[in-house]
Amino acid sequence: MASQVLILGGTGRIGRQIAADLLTHTAVQITLSGRNLGVGNQLSQQLGNRCRFLPFDLEDWVHLRDSIAQSDLVIHCAGPFHHRNATVLKTCIDSGVNYLDVSDHPSFTCKAIALRAKAEAAGITAIVNTGVFPGISNSMVRRDIEQLDEAQKVHLSYVVGGSGGAGLTVMRSTFLGLQRPFEAQINSKRQKVRPYSGREIIDFPHYGKVGVYWFDMPESFTIADTFPVETVVTKFGSVPRFYNYLTWSVARLWHPKLLESRKVIEFLARISYAMTQISDRFSGIEVVIRSEVTGLKHGQSMRCVSTMFYPNTACAAGIGTGTIAELLLSGTLKKPGVWTPEQAVSTSMFEVAMQSRGVAIQQQLLPNSNCHLLQFPSAVAH
């Protein structure tokens, strides 16, 4: 019998991309869950006879438990994850079902990782933060670190065109990320950083020179926990560039109490999404990831720089999760516990997975004399 995959939040932009990837590259049967019956039925018909829709809310625990118990793999896409608990993962552990998610916020990642021992005892493999960033980005860093004898600093930067092909959930996540200072690993210490501070101009493939800013991402601590590096920088920018100024002004000029209001977050998300529906026609919805790891090779200071460009950000997230799902379903990847991609997916697995989807990642090993400077003081909140 074909493996049964349950995608929670499957009618969203990311969920449907994961479903499309799995239907293309595996023989699975997919169940999409969501709250909108009309959208769900229409999407399942579009995806074909190996896909069905099951309407229920995540708060409906009985339906959630029963649906998980009938699955071989659960993929959690029902964000934003800033205020989510780990109920879905706990239920998967109790049911002995493998688990993936596209979570992108450190608070949720910590809740999930706290269940590592229970997942290991139950023999299930759970991988969080799959997708594009976090996700593909984590594995790019692992691949770069392995090119050096000693890694010292990691600098991750991302640029997305307009909406990235994603929906309102991603917009909500962006503004939720501006609510308060966050911790980053800088010079072997956890230090407070102001969101959307520390602007740097970086030359990206496809986009050219774009400003990027500190943003709260789980890679900032999962990479530091996985590898003995002193510093992990995670910065984000948008194209067209005026979206950067809009986000910066909200982070800097709006009273923090306003950003704690769900109504304000929803207003900002909907306005931004409406704007991107116009600008996407001109800017595109591409994503570029740049990973730079600085360290030592044969006693010399070196840097390993990788870049990935993909024409559709949401589709890239579908690939990042879909490839890991394929590894789990095939039995190629089995690592009981709760992990992030850089902890669970070997570089050889990652390279084969990206090649299977036609994703090209450029990598260079260069002397450190031309390394772009990491200017931390301007980024740290005082």
Which residues in 86-105 are b (16+ Cβ under 10 Å) and which e?
A: bebbbbbbebebbbbbbbbb
Q: Residue 366's pLDDT is what?
A: 93
Integer angstrom CA distances of residue 140 from 49, 223, 255, 261:
35, 11, 37, 36
Is the bond leading into 195 cis (omega within 30 degrees of zero)? no
Q: Residue 373's pLDDT is what?
A: 39
Q: What token pair was written down for 190?
A: 């956890």
**Residue whose structure tokens are 């608070």:** 107
The confidence band for 170, taking pLDDT boundaries of 50, 70 and 90, is confident
187-229: pLDDT as tens digits: 999 999 999 999 999 999 999 999 999 999 999 999 999 999 9
Q: Residue 378's pLDDT is what?
A: 32
226-267: pLDDT as tens digits: 999 999 999 999 999 899 999 999 998 998 889 989 999 999
Distance from C-alpha of 155 to C-alpha of 203, rounded to nearest angstrom: 13
- Residue 21: is it exposed, middle or buried by C-beta count within 10 angstroms (0-12/13-18/19+)? buried
Q: Residue 370's pLDDT is what?
A: 52
Q: Residue 376's pLDDT is what?
A: 34
Q: Residue 377's pLDDT is what?
A: 34
The upper half-sphere exposure of residue 134, i.e. CA atoms within 13 Å in the direction of its Cβ, equals: 31
- Residue 168: is it exposed, middle or buried by C-beta count within 10 angstroms (0-12/13-18/19+)? middle
Please state the domain extents for the chain: 4-131+316-356, 133-313+359-379
Residue with more model confidence, 75 or 374: 75
Alpha helices in 115-232 (DSSP H): 116-122, 137-145, 168-176, 219-226
Q: Residue 371's pLDDT is what?
A: 47
**Residue whose structure tokens are 């799902």:** 325
Tell me what the mean pLDDT of segment 14-35 comes to. 95
Tell me what the mean pLDDT of segment 333-347 comes to. 98
Task: Give the chain's mean pLDDT.
Answer: 92
Distance from C-alpha of 228 to C-alpha of 210, rounded to nearest angstrom: 29
What three-state secondary structure class fits 154? strand
Q: Residue 190's pLDDT is what?
A: 93
For β-strands 4-8 and 73-76, DSSP reports them as parallel
- Residue 67: is it exposed, middle or buried by C-beta count within 10 angstroms (0-12/13-18/19+)? buried
Instruction: Tell me yes or no: is domain 133-313+359-379 CATH 3.30.56.10.
Output: no
The confidence band for 374, taking pLDDT boundaries of 50, 70 and 90, is very low
Residue with more model confidence, 382 or 364: 364
64-88: pLDDT as tens digits: 999 999 999 999 999 889 889 999 9
Distance from C-alpha of 126 to C-alpha of 116, rounded to nearest angstrom: 8
pTM for this model (two decimals): 0.93
Asked whether residue 283 carries a pLDDT value surpassing 70, the answer given is yes
4-131+316-356 and 133-313+359-379, same CATH topology: no
Integer angstrom CA distances of residue 327 from 90, 226, 303:
22, 21, 30
Q: Identify the CATH number of the domain defined by range 4-131+316-356.
A: 3.40.50.720
In total, the chain counts a number of residues equal to 382
Alpha helices in 206-359 (DSSP H): 219-226, 242-253, 262-283, 313-330, 341-344, 347-356
Residues 6+ apart with CB under 8 A from 249: none
Is residue 377 a contact partner of residue 356, using CB atoms and an 8 Å limit? no
What three-state secondary structure class fits 161? strand
Provide the strand spans (E) within the chain: 4-8, 29-34, 51-55, 73-76, 98-101, 125-127, 150-161, 182-186, 189-193, 200-204, 208-214, 231-239, 287-297, 300-310, 337-339, 361-367
Least confident of 128-132, 241-245, 316-320: 241-245
